[in-house]
Amino acid sequence: MNICVYCGSSNGNNKKILDLAQKFGRLMTERGHNLVYGGSSLGVMGIIADSVMLNGGEVVGVIPENLFSKEVAHTGITRLITVKDMHQRKSHMAELSDAFVAFPGGFGTMEELFEIITWNQIGLINKPVTVMNIDGFYDSLIRMIDHAVGVGFIKPKNRAIVQTAESLEECLDLCENNQ
Ligand code: AMP
């Protein structure tokens, strides 16, 4: 499978997240999966890409031309695809991928996560989306989603689009089981 990972372009300050990012790269490679991501060499993005490459997996990065220097495009991956803009980046990543995982990250990560949820919601795609909840990072986001269900803005059937994993193994199980 090609697994798309959305994650921070910076490191944050919780070492556990970086350790698990590295382990995830190894584990997904051991389970025969390839990585699709945003093509940066920085932050959690760079750590996962390096780990997949180090463990003999394939990595495809998709980066907009104007971010090439700002996000320091990763030139040591299997294939780096340059696209015109952010919208092309996201649609290209979605086309290439069979499943989506959100590791901890900032606005960029959350924007990508919510877009892929909504693409599933309106039926543009039908591919599993899993939030990797390291150290409770996504607890409050999940609470917000459940609150929106309670207030009637998200249908329970659409709530089910967002899966939550508490371990790396569970995360990969959820990606694989929904194929
Ligand atoms: P962040 O989580 O903010 O560190 O960003 C993670 C990644 O998301 C970075 O590669 C950003 O360039 C990317 N990103 C931010 N906004 C968007 C967007 N609107 N569309 C696609 N990627 C984005």
Q: Give tens-digit pLDDT for 107-157.
A: 999 999 999 999 999 999 999 999 999 999 999 999 999 999 999 999 999
Q: What pLDDT was estimated at residue 88?
A: 97
Q: Apex CA 78: angle with CA 74 and CA 80, to 5°?
A: 50
**Which protein residue's CA is at the shortest distance from atom 7 of ligand 1?**
108
- Containing 145, the helix (H) or strand (E) segment is helix 139-150
- Euclidean distance between the first and final Cα of the chain, in Å? 9
Contact 65, 83 (CB under 8 A): yes
pLDDT above 80 for 36:
yes
Task: Say yes or no: CB of residue 115 within 6 Å of ligand 1.
Answer: no
For range 17-39, the mean pLDDT: 98
Q: From ligand 1's centre to the CA of 128, what distance in Å?
A: 20
Ligand 1: distance of its center to the CA of 25 in Å?
A: 20
Q: Is 63 in the pocket of ligand 1 (CB under 6 A)?
A: no
pLDDT interval class at 179 (50, 70, 90): low
Closest CA to 20 of 132, 99, 152, 97: 132
CATH of segment(s) 2-136+162-173: 3.40.50.450
86 Cβ closer than 6 Å to some ligand 1 atom: yes
Task: State yes or no: pLDDT of 50 exceeds 80.
Answer: yes
- Here the tokens at position 69 are 């220097």
Q: Output the furthest CA–CA distance in the chain (Å, rounded).
A: 47
71 pLDDT tier (thresholds 50, 70, 90)? confident
Q: Indicate the top mutation candidate among 86, 100, 132 to test ligand 1's pocket, ranked by most ligand atoms within 8 A of CB.
A: 86
Q: How much is the pLDDT for 152?
A: 98
Q: What is the mean pLDDT of the chain?
A: 97
Ligand 1 close to Cβ of residue 133 (< 6 A):
no
Residue 107 CA to ligand 1 centre (angstroms): 7
CB 112 less than 6 A from any atom of ligand 1: yes
Question: Residue 43 — left, alpha, or beta (φ > 0 → left; ψ -120 to 50 → alpha)?
Answer: left
State the DSSP H helix or E strand holding residue 111, giving kind and residue range, or none if neither.
helix 107-121
Q: Quick one: which H or E segment has residue 20? A: helix 15-30
Give the mean model confidence (pLDDT) for residues 50-63. Answer: 98
* Separation of CA 34 and ligand 1 centre (Å): 20
Could you give the percent of the chain with pLDDT greater than 70?
Answer: 99
CA distance 4 to 34: 9
Domain ranges of the chain: 2-136+162-173
